[in-house]
Structure 1
Amino acid sequence: MGDSKLNSDIVVYNILINGAGKCGKVDIARVLFQGLIDKGLQLNVRTYNVMISGFCREGQLGEAKLLFLKMDEIGCPPDNVTYHVFLQGCLKNKHYDDVKMLLQEMDGRGYSLDASTLSLFIDHIAAGLLDRSMLKLLGKLVSKELMDHPRLCT
């Protein structure tokens, strides 16, 4: 991007990082992400979410976890979307070590599960990949709106 005015626009970087991650070019996404830090640009929660998503998509859960943990340290706490992205990455990659901790943190922060993340949990529990004892914790994280959704009741 050289010295263009777009060079300092975090939104443009978020789009580029997201696109690179979705195309399986997580190394390019990492270079762009690091470039933001090197330029002293303020990273936002969206920037972290797209980078964590890219790492998860490529099965690099260790890298995703490092970024996830770094967010609180630098004063950019994970939001509900961050938890969904990281939880889905853990489930899809069968990396269950941190799932319970993430669910407990979500509960402590007052976050809830979205339909796609809940569906993944149910699939993994039904397949015997996760302990059924998770159902109680999951129940605490399902929003009233989701429970009242007519499609879930049919």
Structure 2
Amino acid sequence: MSKAKTIFDSMVFRGLVPDVVSYSSLLNGYCKSLKIDEAMDLFNEITRKGLKPNVVTYNTMIQGLFRVGRCGDARKLFDEMHGKGQMPDQLTYGIILKGLCSNHQIEEALSLFHLMCDSKLNMDIVVYNILIDGASKCGKLDIAKALFKDLTNKGLHPSARTYNVMIGGLCREGLVGDAKDLFLKMEESGCPPNNVTYNVLLQGYLKNKHNDDVEMLLHEMDGRCYSLDATTLALLLNQIAAGLLHNTLLEMISKLVPKELMDSP
């Protein structure tokens, strides 16, 4: 970041006038480094220099504020964006919704979502995925289920990501049977489970002590040439060490460990 700031300052020193794109690039660096106060100072400098922040500038700053939990400031900036005639795009709304959900403000996220629907904005599957994921992680599984059901009414089709977050949410609430039913429905719906789906369901089985289903799922993963992620692998090894799973599974598990995990210390 310091190198980028040095280059930026040298431009100014040589009499070059940075444009909004240059400011936005530096702003992005500050936000990714979680240097939000420096980012806000730079954002305010844009208008002081007579420049007008564009939608990318606002999106970057709003996302940075959410990352450090400054939801109120993010919402104020979103309102300012409206007030200054800068129209939010689909990405802006995605950032706001994800930021609110990540900070456990699911009710506020839903209010914004309903406003978006009333404004006839194009609701795509990405927006639904953000809300379904946020609701399920906040323990609002009833809301997640309602949103999932609403997809059909909106003419949208669940993606693998949609199924994955729903299966994860059901498993977190101990509804492993419902999670398994949804997993089986994926193939029927023309959206086959992917590597993430298998890991999510396997973690659900392990955390909820549905150990009888574990071996069958491992065999399926092997048949599809899928692999275990680090979390699933750790859970499996812990269960074996605790005597909850038979150590004969180790041979199968070794076939499902990706090379990068084998090479890690």
Paired residues, number:
150
Q: Please tell me whether residue 43 in structure 1 is matched to residue 167 in structure 2.
A: no
1:20 to 135, 138, 152: 135
Cα distance in 1 between the residues matched to 2:214 and 2:119: 42
1:29 to 136, 144, 165: 144
RMSD: 1.2
1:7 is displaced (CA, Å) by 6.0
Q: Which residue of 2 aligns with 1:106?
A: 221
2:168 to 39, 53, 71: 53
1:122 is displaced (CA, Å) by 0.4
Q: Please tell me whether residue 141 in structure 1 is matched to residue 256 in structure 2.
A: yes
1:124 to 239, 252, 255: 239
- Give unpaired runs (5+ residues) of structure 1: none
* Preserved contact between residue 6 and residue 12 of structure 1 (Cα < 8 Å): no
Q: Deviations over 1:72-94 (max 9, x none)?
A: 11110001100111000110111
Letter in 2 for 1:147: M
Q: Please tell me whether residue 78 in structure 1 is matched to residue 193 in structure 2.
A: yes
TM-score (norm 2): 0.55
Letter in 2 for 1:53: G
Letter in 1 for 2:242: A
Cα distance in 1 between the residues matched to 2:184 and 2:120: 31
Q: Which residue of 2 aligns with 1:68?
A: 183
> Are the structure 2 counterparts of residues 92 and 7 from structure 1 closer, same or farther at C-alpha, using a change threshold of 3 Å?
farther
Q: Which residue of 1 aligns with 2:79?
A: none
1:144 is displaced (CA, Å) by 1.6
1:138 is displaced (CA, Å) by 0.4
Cα distance in 2 between the residues matched to 1:104 and 1:78: 14
Structure having greater relative contact order (Cα 8 Å, sep ≥ 6): 1
TM-score (norm 1): 0.93
1:145 is displaced (CA, Å) by 1.7
- Give unpaired runs (5+ residues) of structure 2: 1-113
Cα distance in 1 between the residues matched to 2:130 and 2:192: 21
1:6 is displaced (CA, Å) by 4.8
Q: Highest Rg: 1 or 2?
A: 2
